[in-house]
Structures are given as structure tokens and as C-alpha cells.
Amino acid sequence: MMREARLILVRHGESLYNKQNLFTGWSDVELSEHGKEEAREVGKLLSYHKLYPDICYTSWLKRAIHTAQLALSELEWEHIDVKRSYRLNERHYGAWQGKNKDMIKQEYTKEEFLAVRRGYDTPPPSLDESDERVPWREKKYAKIPKELLPRSESLKDTKQRVEEYYKMEIESQLKEGNTALISAHGNSLRALVMHLEQISKEEVVNLEIPTGEIIVYTFDDRLKIIKKEVLLG
């Protein structure tokens, strides 16, 4: 019999921008001290539940990378292969990146703000092409075609790239009965959960994944979800 496939989703620990109530997006900020503790707690919980991944995936953003590293170190399971992709990056928050969430909220009506913040197909204002924050000005994205790098994204845009990567890279691991760990971000994980659970664009407004949260899916041999757990400390 094939082993039951499992997918472990982990939102990175609190970042410095989370702590300061700033929109982060593709801004590559470090974990706060509390965020590092959250990451270690992930490792402790995985150990307690005897969940040892066969492979790990992260975005190209260091808050997700370091969360995975700290969790795997705590789990004493650092030998596994780790694959990284910009397709697992957080949603790009465009011109809102680095700005205070409460200040931005004051500039829009409640409906306008929520349409961007929690809605499905409304992006924030785009970065101007001359802005220093556009992704193609960063060395790590130099080999990515410019047309694939966003200046702003809706959740719909994020879902498209995350779903493509899931089908291209991660599904094959699950089909082999493996356990895959993904360390990523609030919106890239919301997008993936939306795909996995067939959540509608109306329902996704109410879906939130806190920092440090662990979601575990168990699949049958047809990759149908047979169990979902949220691990709590």
C-alpha cells in the first residue's frame, strides 16, 4: 500500500513588517524575534505529531526561508531537499508595500480597502516602472523574464502562479505518497488553500492564516483530501 500523502502548510513567523503593521508583499524583510520563536514552535509541533517531511518548499523571501530552516533545525531534520521558487512569494502589494496599514486604510473607503485586502480580483495600485521597488531591479530576479514579475497583484493573480507551481512541482511528490512541507506566506497559502478546498472567491474573504500557523492535509491515492488538521501549540 502507498503511504498516505501529506501536505504541511506553514505561514512564516512574524516578520519585522508584520510587527510594525506595514504591508510587506515582496519586500524581503527578516523575521522578528517573536517570529523566530514561532518558527521554532513549528518544529516542536511537527516533532510532537511525528510529522517528518520528505521534501520542503519555500518562496524566495527570507522570512519563509528562515522559518523553514529554524523549524527543520528544531525538528532535527535538516538533511531533506529544499526547493525554492518565486512563485511561492507573497502577493505583491504594489505601491502599498512598506506603508502602514492603518494609514492606507484612511485613504480609502472601507469597501475599497477590503476589496484589495481580502477580496479576490482587486489589486492595490501598481508600482511605477521607475520605482526602485520593482522586482526586476533586485539581483535575485535577474534571470526571470520581466513580464513574469509583477508590479502589483490581486489574490487571483497570486493564485494563478501558486497553483501552476503546485501542479508542476508538488503534486508529483504527493502522488508518490510523500510528505511535503511548504513554508510560505499569508496570501500565497490562502491561494493554495483556495485551490485545494475549492473555496469560492466570495468565501475566501473570510479565510485568514495567522503567522506560524500549521495546516496539515492528508490525501488518498487520488489526491482527494481525507483529513485536514490545524496544529495548535
Catalytic machinery residues? 12, 90
CA 153 to centroid of chain Cα atoms: 14
Q: How many CB atoms lie within 10 A of CB 219?
A: 19
For residues 104 and 96, give the distance between their C-alpha atoms in angstroms, rounded to a whole number: 8
Backbone dihedral region for residue 50 (phi beyond 0: left; psi -120 to 50: alpha; all else: beta): left
For residues 10 and 170, give the distance between their C-alpha atoms in angstroms, rounded to a whole number: 15
Backbone dihedral region for residue 107 (phi beyond 0: left; psi -120 to 50: alpha; all else: beta): alpha
Q: Which residues contact 69 (CB under 8 A, 6 or more apart)?
A: 39, 78
Q: Which of 51, 72, 71, 75 is nearest to 3 (CA)?
A: 51
For residues 229 and 233, give the distance between their C-alpha atoms in angstroms, rounded to a whole number: 13
What are the backbone dihedrals phi and psi of residue 113, each rounded to the nearest 5 degrees, phi first?
Answer: -65, -45
